[in-house]
């Protein structure tokens, strides 16, 4: 198995969901009041009326072109070309992948802070979610910050008991996946090097539906 040491693994979650999204297909420009996005942000559309060519649940990346307080454009890859959709979005919602925190431990994937290895199903990072069995539960711990957007979103998702999309990213190792999952546990964990930890469990859903750059 391939292992990568001394590189940070970060858990992300799609939140908050922002409504009121529209677009003009001829320019591929989206309008959303005070969206708060910056170039490079990963986002996903959670609902769309119109927007042919766009896929709900897929990751897209905000680009610098036509980026303003109330407008943005997306690419299918980080730093890539504008993604072309062919019909106007007349109503929709979108959510950003916000960091929950640096992962200190990740069960069943041979991963922990500063160390990650490919799953037993193969060394290709794109196989990681596919390698998880449908309904497989996986424990994780992250540095705790109850005031962060990501932590608030995790608590909200746990309380609601509804599936959401998570991501795991380790930039230096070129590991970057997004997947649908249900949060089945979220509580205060232990501590690591003086840092409090949040402990949770995610149940991976439809593991064959992966989304990698």
d(CA 14, CA 33): 18
> What dotted CATH number matches 17-97?
2.40.30
Domain ranges for the chain = 3-13+98-204, 17-97
pTM of the model: 0.82
Tell me the C-alpha distance between 137 and 132, whole Å: 9
pLDDT tens sequence across 57-72: 889 999 999 999 999 9
The answer to whether the bond into 128 is cis (omega within 30° of 0) is no
Report the relative pairing of strands 164-170 and 3-5 from DSSP bridges.
unpaired
Give the C-alpha separation, 40 to 38, whole Å: 6
What number does CATH give the domain 3-13+98-204? 2.30.280
End-to-end CA distance of the chain: 22
Q: What is the pLDDT of residues 92-151, one digit of tens each?
A: 999 999 998 888 777 765 555 555 554 444 444 445 554 555 567 888 888 877 778 888
Tell me 88's DSSP state: -
Cβ-proximal residues to 61 (8 Å cutoff; 6+ apart), any chain: 40, 41, 42, 43, 74, 75, 76, 77, 78, 79, 80
Distances (CA, A) of 198 to 82, 141, 162: 37, 5, 19
């Amino acid at each position: 198995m391939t292992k990568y040491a001394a590189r940070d693994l970060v858990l992300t979650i799609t939140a908050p969901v922002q409504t009121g999204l529209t677009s003009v297909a001829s320019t591929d420009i989206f309008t959303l009041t005070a969206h708060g996005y910056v170039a490079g942000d990963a986002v996903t559309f959670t609902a769309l009326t119109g927007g042919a060519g766009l896929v709900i649940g897929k990751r897209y990346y905000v680009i610098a072109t036509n980026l303003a307080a109330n407008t943005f454009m997306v690419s299918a890859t980080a730093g890539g070309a504008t993604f072309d959709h062919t019909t106007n979005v007349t109503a929709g919602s979108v959510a950003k992948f916000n960091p929950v925190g640096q992962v200190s431990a990740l069960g069943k994937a041979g991963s922990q802070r500063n160390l990650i290895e490919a799953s037993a199903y193969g060394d290709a990072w794109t196989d990681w979610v596919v390698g998880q069995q449908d309904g497989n539960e996986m424990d994780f711990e992250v540095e705790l910050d109850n005031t962060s957007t990501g932590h608030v979103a995790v608590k909200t998702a746990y309380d609601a008991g509804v599936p959401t999309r998570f991501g795991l990213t380790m930039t230096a190792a070129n590991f970057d996946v997004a997947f649908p999952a249900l949060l089945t546990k979220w509580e205060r964990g232990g501590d690591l090097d003086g840092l409090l930890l949040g402990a949770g469990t995610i149940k991976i859903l439809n593991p064959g539906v992966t989304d990698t750059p």
